Every structure is written in structure tokens, then in C-alpha cells.
Amino acid sequence: MQSETIENYLKTIYHLSTGNSSVVSNKQLADKLNVIPATVTEAVKKLHELKLVVYEKSYGTRLTSSGSKMALSIVRRHRIWETYLAKELGFGWDEVHQIAEELEHIKNDKLIKKLSEKLGHPNFDPHGDPIPDEKGKIQKSNFIKLSEAKTKSNYKVMGVTDHSTSFLKYLEKHRLIIGAIISLKNIEEFDHSILLMCEKKEVSISPKVAESIIVETL
């Protein structure tokens, strides 16, 4: 099995199994990898033989510890590159993912070490996702999208994922700028719009807007 294929499977299994159940179905993998389920069946069998996953027929697939270790190293490479592209080369947050999808497959430990060093060993990438360290350890992030926030909690605005001028102008108007402290008052049941306090003023924002604001839990 080609190393790039293995890496893409492991990475995808990793992403699908964090958050939800640690067992991933063939259908889920097929959808993410843009192949048909039959192809996945073949692949996970091979990965099982390589002891990178545990695959149980008609049940699902989960990473072994060595598969998990490998997945974390790919995620590390991906996020280090994303950070590097953004910080050192001035790429926008929306451009870095696609390029990092290719760069992540270059296996050269020294290269990643040098990149990380130059960046001052960052723990989070430009999207706020945590970067696993050399040993695969992940620093837990307290950055979330405002759309995932809970009522009666306080947050600090850390960034946006939509850089359009109109969106930034909108935020400016409501003082929802980087560093602003906000307090979440209510989430409407029927449309998930959010009512919050920002600089002693009440602001109501749509779920679409909340999706594009990154906040830190205080």
C-alpha cells in the first residue's frame, strides 16, 4: 500500500473518530475520501493487516495505538505547514488548508522540526486547531466557534474565519473586534440566533455570523 494512501486513510479515520464514537464506518470514510464503500472495505482490510487499525467486519474500524501515532504525526505536519504558510508566507487562512494537504505527505522529521522552530513551536494553527507535539500530545484548545458557545458564559473574541470586508465592517459596527469580551445572554430556540452583551450593549447575531467568529472560553 502506498504511503500517501495509508496516510489519507489514517488521517480521515482520526478526524472522524475524534468527537464522535472512536469507531468509524465504511460509509463515513467513503464519503470523506470520495471513493465507494467497496474500496474502503479493501483498504481497511489492508490497514488491519498492517496493524494500523482494528477492522471488524460489518462493524467498523478504529485506530490502533501505532495507527493513532501515525495519524497524529500527519495532523502535526498538516497544521505546522498551515501555520507556516500563514505566518511566514502571508497566505490567508482560507488558502492554507489546500496547500497543506499536499505538503503534509512530505516525510522529513528535520523539516517539520525546523518549521516548528522557526514558528516558535506553536500549539495552534491559524484555524485555532491544536498542533500535536513530536510525541503526539495535543494541548486542549479552549477556542470554539461562537455558534458552539453556551448561554450564561463569557468569551473573548479571538478571530474570524470570514475575512470579507463587509463582514469585518459589520463586526466593527457592533464592536465585536479581536479582544472584545462578550457575555452570552440567550440562544433563540427556533432559529439559533444569539443574543449577547458586548461593551454594555445588547447585540443579536445570526447563526451564520456566529459560525464565523472564533472565541475563547473565559
Partner DNA sequence: TTATTATTTTTGGCAAACCAAAAAGATAAT
Partner DNA sequence: ATTATCTTTTTGGTTTGCCAAAAATAATAA
Distance CA 36, CA 170 (A): 43
The residue behind cell 472560553 is 217
Please choose which of a copy of itself, DNA, none residue 57 contacts, taking the beta carbon within 5 to 8 angstroms, the exact cut-off set by kind: DNA
Stretch of 28-36, 41-49, 88-96, 162-170 contacting a copy of itself, by CB under 8 A: 88-96
Q: Is 89 among the residues that bind a copy of itself (CB under 8 A)?
A: yes
> Is residue 118 close enough to count as binding a copy of itself by CB under 8 A?
yes
Q: Tell me which H or E stretch contains 112.
A: helix 109-118
Distance CA(88)–CA(81), nearest Å, equals 10
Shortest separation between residue 99's beta carbon and a copy of itself, angstroms? 6
**Residue 157 CB partners (closer than 8 Å, separation 6+):** 176, 177, 178, 179, 180, 181, 182, 213, 214, 215
Quick one: 49 or 188, whose CB is closer to DNA? 49
Interface residues toward DNA, by CB under 7 A = 1-2, 5-6, 25-28, 30, 33-44, 46, 57-60
DSSP 129: P
Part in contact with a copy of itself (CB under 8 A); list of ranges 14-22, 85-93, 121-129, 197-205: 85-93
x-marked contacts with a copy of itself along 98-117 as a string, rule CB under 8 A: -x--xx--x-x-xx--xx--
Strands, E assignment, the chain = 53-56, 60-63, 143-145, 154-160, 181-187, 194-198, 201-205, 213-217
Min dist CB 121 to a copy of itself, Å, is: 15
Between CA 153 and CA 145 the distance in angstroms is 14
* Cell of residue 210, nine digits: 456566529
CB of 66 to a copy of itself, least distance (A): 24
Which residues of the chain form contacts with a copy of itself (CB under 8 A)?
Answer: 85, 88-91, 95, 99, 102-103, 106, 108, 110-111, 114-115, 118
